[in-house]
A and B are shown apart, each in its own frame.
Chain A
C-alpha cells in the first residue's frame, strides 16, 4: 500500500536532487591533471628504462641535444659544437644561463659526470663508450670528447629519446653508481619535482620552473626546440582503473587520460568536450620473439614455417579494433621513419595459409615437441597479441603449453634459458615504442649477439656486423642501405617476427591545444 507520506518523501527527494551543489569542480585553469600510463615508482631515468620514468625525466631534466620529429638532433642545453681532428675531437659548448633547480649553474663538469654515468647504462651510451678515449670538461662551459675513431652517431646518441636518455644532472648527484638509484630529482628542466607531495601510486606533482630559459633554436618538435611552459602546476594522478579514469575525465576532474584502452576510447569519443587522438604519429611495433636456444625454434626452418600463417591484421586488430588507420604492416624499423622499408617483407604479405605453414612444419621435421608460449594478461597489447598467437599455435597443431600470467612473472620467466621441460619458454609477444625501432642503436630484438642478446638469444653474426657498420656509416644513404640489408637478414633468419604496428591513442580535453606529439610532454601545451 502506498501511503501519502511515501509519495511526499519521493517528491521531496526529487525536488532536492537538482538543488544539490556540484561538489566535484573542474580542474583549475593553471593546473594540468593527467592520468599517466603507469605508476611512477623509480625517479631515476638512468637506473630504469621504464617509460613513465623517462617521462618524469623530461619534466625535470634537460639534455645537451633534443631530437626533433625528423630524428635530427637539435641543441637544447648545448649552444653548439665543433668537430676537429678528422672527427676524433668533438667540443660541445653549453648555453649560458641554465640553472639547476637547486640554484647552481649547469657546468660542463655536471654534463661530463652525467654522461659518464649514462654511458654505463644506456645502450647507445655503451656503444659510444667503445669509441671514447677521454671525456672531460675544458672549462665551465665546454666539454670535450676525444674519440678513438670518428663516431657519426655521437649527437643522435646524446639526443636519444628513450631507453635512458642522456639527461644532465648536477655532478654531485651524477656521481651515484649507475646501478644505484639517485636519491634526488634535481635537474635543470622546465619543471621542478615536488618531492614533498610525491606519493608513489597516488600522485606526482611538478611546478613550473620559473628560472627556466628555453633554447631559442628551432620550434617545439618531439624533445627538441623551446620548451615553453603554460601551466603553473602539473599533477599526475595515478588511477589504476580505466573506467574510473574515464569517469574522472568526463567529470572534469582530470584533463588527460594518457592510455585509455579501446573499449574506453569509445566512451570518451561520445563526449563532445573530449578528444581521442594518437599520442604519437608514429606507431608502436609488436613482435613475436622466439627462443633460439632450444627446440623447436632453434631451427631456422621451424621459425620460417610460421611465416605463411602470420597475419599482422589479426594481431593488430586484437589491440586497436577494426578501425582503419590505427595499424599498419611493419618490418623491423618503425614505419614512417627514414630506415623503414619493404625490403624482404614478401613472406609477410599476400594470402595467408595455415596449410602451407603446416606443410613447412612437417618439412622442418616437427614431431610434436613441446613448446611454451608465455604472456601477460595485465598489459593490453602484449596480452592481446599473446591470445591471438595462442589460438594460432593451437590451430597449427603445436604441442603447446600456454602460460598466461602477470607482467612481472612474464618478465622474469623470459629470462630463463632452460629448455621447456625445465620451465623455459619458446615464444613471447611484446611491443616496443616507435623510438626503440627507429634505428639499430637501441633496437635490441634485432641484435644477433647470442647469449648476450635480449631474451631469445639469437646468434646471427651477420646482424652484428651490419650493426657495427651502421654506427660508422658516413651518410644517411649508407645508413639506409645497411638498414635494408639488416631487414633482409632479419626476415630470413628471424630473430623475431614483426606482427604489425599500431597507434597508441590518448584521451584529452579538446580545450588543450598545441600538445607536442610523441609522448606525454607538458611544455608548449596550453588551455585554449
Chain B
C-alpha cells in the first residue's frame, strides 16, 4: 500500500500541471485589468501602461507562464499585485480559519448525518425516516447564506448567545475560537449533513437486506451491534466516498459562509482576488485547493482498505 500511496502522490504532479495550465490560461484570456483598477479613474493611458509594465503584465503569455511555473517549482507562489505581500504569506494568514471551519463542519456533519442515516434506514417507512429525509431535502434546498442569516439573527442578534461575525485564532483560546465557528459550521454543514444522511440511509438499507445480517440476528446479536458493527462497517465505503467528494462542496460553501460570517479565510481571499484581478493570488489559491482535493481523494482511497479488507492496492 505504501508503494501505491507513493505512486498516487507522484501521479498528482501531472494533475497539478494540468490545473496550473488551465488556471493560468483562463485568467490570461478573462477580461479585467489590474493595472486599470490600480491606476484609478484619473490615470492617463500612459500611467496605466507604466503600471502594467511595472507589474510585468505586458509580457507575452509564454514568458509569464514559464516564469510562474519556474517560481512554483522553487516554492514561490509569487507576490500579490495589490498588497505587495507574498502569496504564501497571504495563504498562511488565511488557512487557519478555513481549515478550522472545514474540520468542525466535517466532524459536525459526520457526527450528525451518519447516525441519522442509520436510524432512518432502521426505521424505514416510519415518521422518523420521513423526518430525516425531510430534513435532508431542506438541507439540500435552502441555500447556505439563508441558513447563515437566520442563525445569525436568532442566535446572535435576538438571543445574544454567539457573535455575529469574525474569527478568533485558536492561539487565543479554544472557546473564543470555537464560539466564532459554531454558527458558520452549522450553516455550512446543512447541505453536507443532508448528503451524507441520504447516502448512509440508502447504503444501510441495501446492507440490512444481506444474508449475513439475518444470520447475525439469528445468532442473537443486539440491534445496535447489527447496525453499527456489522451493517455500518460494510456500508462505509460509499459513505466515505461521498465524504471525500463533499470536500469540494465544502470548499465552495466556505466561500459563501466566510462572506456571510466575515471569516477571513481562503474563500474570501479568492473572491476578493478575483474581483480585483489579483492574478498571483487567484492562481496560488486555486492550486492549493486542487492539491488539497487530490490529497483528500488519495486519503479516501487508502481508507477503503480499512473498511473492506478485500480491497488491496
Contact = CB atoms under 8 A, between A and B. Distances in A.
B288 interface: no
B152 A201 contact: no
Contact of A180 (B41, B54, B152): B54
B239 to A, nearest CB: 30
Contacts of A251: 156-157, 160, 163-164
A30 B43 CA distance: 39
A42 interface: yes
Interface centre among A42, A202, A250 (most CB of B within 10 A): A202
A20 B182 CA distance: 15
B42 A42 contact: no
B41 A200 contact: no
Nearest to B43: A49
B124 interface: no
A442 B262 contact: no
Contact of B83 (A200, A241, A442): A200
A49 B42 contact: yes
B293 interface: no
Nearest to B161: A20
Given A48-B40, A411-B37, A183 B264 contact: no
The majority secondary structure among interface residues of chain A is loop
B275 A378 contact: yes
A247 B268 contact: no
Interface in B123-167: 149, 152-153, 156-157, 159-167
B160 A22 contact: yes
Nearest to A42: B82
Interface residues of A, number: 57
Contact of B262 (A47, A241, A451): A241
B164 A454 contact: no
B68 to A, nearest CB: 20
A299 B34 CA distance: 32
Contacts of A412: 31-33, 36-37, 277
B45 A452 contact: yes
Interface in A406-431: 406-409, 411-413, 415, 430
A411 B36 CA distance: 6
Nearest to B40: A49
A47 B38 contact: yes
A245 B149 CA distance: 12
A247 B157 contact: yes
A33 B165 CA distance: 13
B233 interface: no
A120 to B, nearest CB: 9
A41 B36 contact: no
Interface in B69-119: 80, 82-85, 90, 93-94
A43 B90 CA distance: 15
B269 A201 contact: yes
A22 B161 CA distance: 5
A50 B269 CA distance: 19
A430 B161 contact: no
A378 B43 CA distance: 22
Interface centre among A43, A181, A408 (most CB of B within 10 A): A408
Contact of B42 (A245, A248, A430, A454): A454
Interface in A159-215: 163, 177, 179-181, 183, 199-203
Given A42-B83, A200-B85, A240-B268, A24 B45 contact: no
Given A49-B39, A241-B262, A248-B262, A179 B85 contact: no
B312 to A, nearest CB: 46
B133 to A, nearest CB: 21
Contacts of B12: none
A191 B218 CA distance: 78
Contact of A413 (B31, B43, B48, B259): B31
Nearest to A122: B42
Given A241-B260, A412-B33, A41 B160 contact: no
B223 interface: no
A12 to B, nearest CB: 16
Contacts of A475: none
A405 B278 CA distance: 17
A24 B40 contact: no
A346 to B, nearest CB: 29
A199 B159 contact: no
B276 interface: yes
B45 to A, nearest CB: 7
Contact of A452 (B44, B153, B163, B179): B44
A121 B277 contact: no
Contact of A454 (B41, B84, B276): B41
Nearest to B153: A247
A399 interface: no
Given A163-B42, A412-B36, A24 B160 contact: yes
Given A21-B161, A253-B166, 18 more contacts: A23-B179, A41-B80, A41-B276, A49-B41, A49-B42, A163-B40, A163-B42, A199-B94, A200-B82, A200-B83, A200-B85, A202-B94, A243-B260, A251-B157, A251-B163, A412-B37, A444-B41, A454-B42
6 closest cross-chain pairs (CB), A and B: A202-B264, A49-B40, A41-B82, A412-B33, A239-B262, A24-B163
15 contacts: A41-B80, A121-B47, A199-B94, A200-B83, A244-B260, A244-B262, A247-B156, A247-B164, A248-B165, A253-B164, A253-B165, A405-B31, A408-B32, A408-B33, A412-B277
Interface of B: 31-34, 36-45, 47-48, 50-51, 54, 80, 82-85, 90, 93-94, 149, 152-153, 156-157, 159-167, 179, 259-262, 264, 268-269, 271-272, 275-278
